[in-house]
């Protein structure tokens, strides 16, 4: 099925972007207010459903940023993060009340290791905290997300009690984060499926998946969460985020778009804006994007090997599963290097305005290969020089 195929048989998945909150928690990625507003505008324009704008209690700057984003955003819901502490929840409520649609996102740890060492609380105490803080948030706004921090290392029986309590207290979204990037896809699928099937009021909330990339599985786990029943994915542009980062927005969006045949879901993201969003976030966070990054890396649509270039010249679908245009990149690049073959070299010569006879072409191709062995990058100017030299010497 092509990427532009209809969504009529598919279910909607909401995209919750946390570039401005979890993304900004990446060491060194701090953004100015102006940069945050630019990122928020980009996200809003591309169709992100929920923008997590910051952690209002963290600092006055964070509070002001959430207020400013809330005032600026036209379409998306704007969320502010709050610990399960009364003052945090009030501060988040104060910040998001400026939004057309505001959400308080409150969280508490649920895993034994966090309860014993970080919170020093019993399970019953955590249940009481959830009931009280979710109800407090719900008194301030209609849209409340509750997260079970470290959900993937929480025994399922206790996780069920927590989720049940949060829904009864008024949570409208339930997020089960893989806080430390520990899950594997099959297990993640099962966690969502089991919780959704066994909590009595599960249909009263949207379930959300939030994955970190410590083992490089954030995107795979996010998709497994959706297969298990989640209908919101929390992610960041370029996969920016704590430690190894969060699930990359551009990857989950394009995975669902490209593989709608295997996963019948869709998002409302305008994927042609992905490449620009990646550049905006890279500049704002001062984090370069790796060359081979899926979807938005410099090499994501570049081909050097002769076999691949030959295939691409015959039919782009031989080596590309999505078009560069679908993610906002102008065109595929056939990089001229030592792996390039005759077909790509001939095509390059044509593009540069040369048509050589057989002998001259063979000579020029040999000289190009010799040059490519010596030089990392062979530019158009190098090819022009070697052909002019060649033609001049005939
Ligand atoms: O990774 C995590 O658990 C979080 C929560 C605050 C949702 O970022
Ligand atoms: Zn996180």
The set of protein residues with a Cβ atom below 6 angstroms from ligand 1 is 22, 107, 147, 149, 175, 177, 179, 210, 212
Quick one: which of 289, 292, 294, 269 has its CA closest to 279?
Answer: 289
- pLDDT of the residue at 5: 56
- pLDDT of the residue at 360: 95
- pLDDT of the residue at 389: 82
Secondary structure percentages of the chain, helix, strand, coil, to 5: 50, 15, 35
- pLDDT of the residue at 1: 39
Q: Which atom of ligand 1 is nearest to the CA of 234?
A: 7
Complex ipTM over 0.95: yes
* Closest residue by CA, ligand 1 atom 4: 179
- Helix axis angle for 342-351 and 306-314, nearest 10°, is 60
Give the tens place of pLDDT for each residue, 267-298.
999 999 999 999 999 999 999 999 999 999 99
* Closest residue by CA, ligand 1 atom 1: 179
- pLDDT of the residue at 4: 46
Give the tens place of pLDDT for each residue, 156-172.
999 999 999 999 999 99
Q: Is 120 left (phi over 0), alpha (psi -120 to 50) or beta?
A: left
- 243 C-alpha to ligand 2 centroid (Å): 10
- 40 C-alpha to ligand 1 centroid (Å): 20
* Closest residue by CA, ligand 1 atom 2: 179
170 with 144: CB under 8 angstroms? yes
- 7 C-alpha to ligand 2 centroid (Å): 30
Q: In a structure prediction context, what are the per-residue pLDDT tens digits for the chain, which is 394 residues long?
A: 344 457 889 999 999 999 999 999 999 999 999 999 999 999 999 999 999 999 999 999 999 999 999 999 999 999 999 999 999 999 999 999 999 999 999 999 999 999 999 999 999 999 999 999 999 999 999 999 999 999 999 999 999 999 999 999 999 999 999 999 999 999 999 999 999 999 999 999 999 999 999 999 999 999 999 999 999 999 999 999 999 999 999 999 999 999 999 999 999 999 999 999 999 999 999 999 999 999 999 999 999 999 999 999 999 999 999 999 999 999 999 999 999 999 999 999 999 999 999 999 999 999 999 999 999 889 999 999 999 986 665 4
Q: Which atom of ligand 1 is nearest to the CA of 81?
A: 6
* Closest residue by CA, ligand 1 atom 8: 22
DSSP 101-121: SEEEEEEEE-SHHIIIIII--
- 22 C-alpha to ligand 2 centroid (Å): 6
Q: Report how far Cα 125 is from the mean position of its chain's Cα atoms.
A: 35
Q: CA angle, corner 177, sides to 173 and 178, nearest 5?
A: 160
- Beta strand 333-334 with 302-303: parallel, antiparallel or unpaired? parallel
How far, in Å, CA of 223 to CA of 217, rounded? 10
Instruction: Say whether 22 counts as a known binding-site residue.
Output: yes
- Beta strand 206-211 with 265-266: parallel, antiparallel or unpaired? unpaired
Query: Which ligand gives the minimal distance to the CA of 106?
Result: 1
Q: What's the pTM?
A: 0.95
Q: Which atom of ligand 1 is nearest to the CA of 25?
A: 8
* Closest residue by CA, ligand 1 atom 5: 149
Q: Which atom of ligand 1 is nearest to the CA of 150?
A: 3
């Amino acid at each position: 099925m092509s990427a532009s195929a209809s969504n009529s048989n598919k279910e909607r998945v909401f995209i919750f972007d946390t570039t401005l909150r979890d993304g900004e928690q990446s060491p060194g990625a701090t953004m100015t207010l102006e940069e945050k507003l630019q990122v928020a505008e980009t996200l809003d324009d591309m169709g992100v459903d929920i923008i997590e704008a910051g952690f209002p209690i963290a600092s006055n700057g964070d509070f002001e940023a959430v207020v400013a984003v809330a005032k600026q955003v036209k379409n998306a819901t704007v969320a502010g993060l709050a610990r399960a502490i009364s003052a945090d929840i009030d501060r988040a409520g104060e910040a998001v009340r400026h939004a057309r649609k505001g959400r308080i996102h409150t969280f508490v740890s649920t895993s034994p290791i966090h309860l014993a060492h970080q919170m020093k609380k019993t399970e019953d105490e955590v249940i009481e905290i959830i009931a009280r803080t979710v109800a407090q948030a719900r008194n301030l706004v209609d849209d409340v997300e509750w997260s079970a921090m470290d959900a993937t290392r929480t025994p399922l029986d206790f996780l069920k009690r927590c989720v049940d309590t949060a829904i009864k207290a008024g949570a409208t979204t339930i997020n089960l984060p893989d806080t430390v990037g520990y899950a594997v896809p099959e297990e993640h699928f099962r966690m969502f499926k089991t919780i959704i099937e066994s909590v009595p009021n599960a249909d009263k909330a949207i379930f959300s998946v939030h994955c970190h990339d410590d083992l490089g599985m954030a995107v795979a786990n996010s998709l497994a969460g959706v297969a298990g029943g989640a209908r919101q994915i929390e992610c960041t542009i370029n996969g920016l985020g704590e430690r190894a980062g969060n699930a990359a927005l551009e990857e989950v969006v394009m995975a669902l778009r490209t593989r709608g045949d295997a996963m019948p879901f869709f998002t409302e993201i305008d994927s042609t804006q992905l490449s620009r969003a990646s550049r905006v976030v890279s500049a704002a966070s001062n984090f370069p994007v790796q060359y081979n990054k899926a979807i938005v890396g410099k090499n994501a649509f570049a081909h050097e090997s002769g076999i691949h270039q030959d295939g691409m010249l015959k039919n782009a679908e031989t080596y590309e599963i999505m078009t560069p245009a679908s993610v906002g990149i102008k065109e595929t690049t056939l990089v001229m290097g030592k792996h390039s073959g005759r077909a790509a070299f001939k095509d390059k010569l044509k593009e540069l305005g040369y048509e050589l006879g057989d002998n001259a072409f063979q000579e020029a191709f040999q000289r190009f290969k010799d040059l490519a062995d010596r030089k990392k990058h062979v530019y158009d100017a190098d090819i022009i020089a070697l052909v002019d030299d060649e033609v001049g010497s005939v």
